[in-house]
Amino acid sequence: MGREKQPWKSYVLIALGCLITAIALNVFLIPFKLAPGGVSGLSTVVYYIIGGIIPVGVLMLIFNIPLFLLGYKHKGRGFMIRSLYGAVMLSLATDLTAPFFNWLTNEYFIALDNEMANPDLLLYALLGGGIMGFGLAIVLKEDATTGGTDMLAALLKNLFPKFSVGQYLLFMDGCVIVFAIIAFKSVKLGLYASLSIYVASKSIDAYLEGMHFSKSLLIISEKSEMIAQRLLTEVDRGVTGLKGIGMYSKKDKTVLLCVVKREEIPFVKQIVKECDQRAFVLLIDVREVLGEGFTPLPHSKDN
């Protein structure tokens, strides 16, 4: 029997992801005019345009409200509640934590008027994007978001189905970057912001899809039985025999399917070579493997 649903854990994790994202924004991105796309990037640019009169977190909430109103019909009720909670938490976390990090960034504010005086923007873009992506990934894993750009993308997809949601999101991020370049009169800052977005996306993928790379092997051999037995006993990995037919020879063949960890690949190759030097082996990258011998299967979560 699976564990009972505990929705409060999901909301705690969303809040944690928002806190991590807010720290990335306040320490590495906002103080250095790096606008990482989406609502947070737009809010960063507007914050500087209006001279910091309205905090970034408040601006994020202001921009999110119409986006949520536009996109609520295209998302489920549970998703909307969690996303609204995420948007509010990120806005609060951004504004409430900002004063605690002023001492880290105050020394650079004078140099910001002359971007060439600050040689560390690349480092800030990389770290900011990576940490921000990690925080957002925690939120996304709980089936929530921190902003409404995905909802606007869904709306545009319905109105103009020629392009995908991902393409619309990329377009909106590009518009924010262009807006930042114009507002800050700096192509360099725009390029660094683009790099930050890229790193954030990779960080999200790594968290959501897993970083424990494995290899899936397809082995075609006349001695498949011998190879399978050695893999079972010496590597201690499960092997599945798939029925196939050689389209040239018209002979029935057994194709072995086996998933192994990266460090086990040389040993598996040696076994196949010793059994049949004429064997045909395909190695396929596997991002994440769930099940016995690898990462345990997660418990299902009710929607």
Q: How confident is the model at residue 246 (pLDDT cuts 50, 70, 90)?
A: confident
What distance separates the 2 farthest-apart alpha carbons in the chain?
Answer: 77
> Are 37 and 197 spatial neighbours (Cβ–Cβ below 8 Å)?
yes
Q: How confident is the model at residue 55 (pLDDT cuts 50, 70, 90)?
A: very high
* Domain limits, the chain: 7-209, 214-286
Report the half-sphere exposure of 28 (CA within 13 A, side-chain side): 25
The β-bridge partners of 261 are 214
Q: Which of 36, 150, 180 lies closest to 94 in space, CA to CA?
A: 36
Residues 59-71: pLDDT tens digits? 999 999 888 887 7
- The token pair at 250 is 């018209």
What pLDDT score does 3 carry? 43
CA 51, CA 163: separation in Å to the nearest integer? Answer: 37
Cα-based distances in Å from 171 to 38, 175, 177: 10, 6, 10
The β-bridge partners of 119 are none
SS3 83: helix
| High-pLDDT (> 70) share of the chain, % | 83
pLDDT at 118 over 60: no
What's CA 184's distance to the chain center, in Å? Answer: 28
What's CA 149's distance to the chain center, in Å? Answer: 16
Residues 146-157: pLDDT tens digits? 877 777 776 777
Q: Domain 214-286 is of which CATH architecture?
A: 2-Layer Sandwich (3.30)
- The token pair at 237 is 């990995």
Pairwise pLDDT comparison (27 vs 160), residue with the higher score: 27
| High-pLDDT (> 90) share of the chain, % | 35
List, in order, residues 6 or more apart from 76 with CB less than 8 Å away: 303
State the CB neighbour count (10 A cutoff) for residue 225. Answer: 13
- The token pair at 54 is 């309205």
Residues 262-296: pLDDT tens digits? 778 888 888 999 999 888 888 887 766 666 555 56
Reported pTM: 0.73
Output the DSSP codes for 128-176.
Answer: HHHHHHHHHHHHHHTT--SSSHHHHHHHHHHH-TTS-HHHHHHHHHHHH
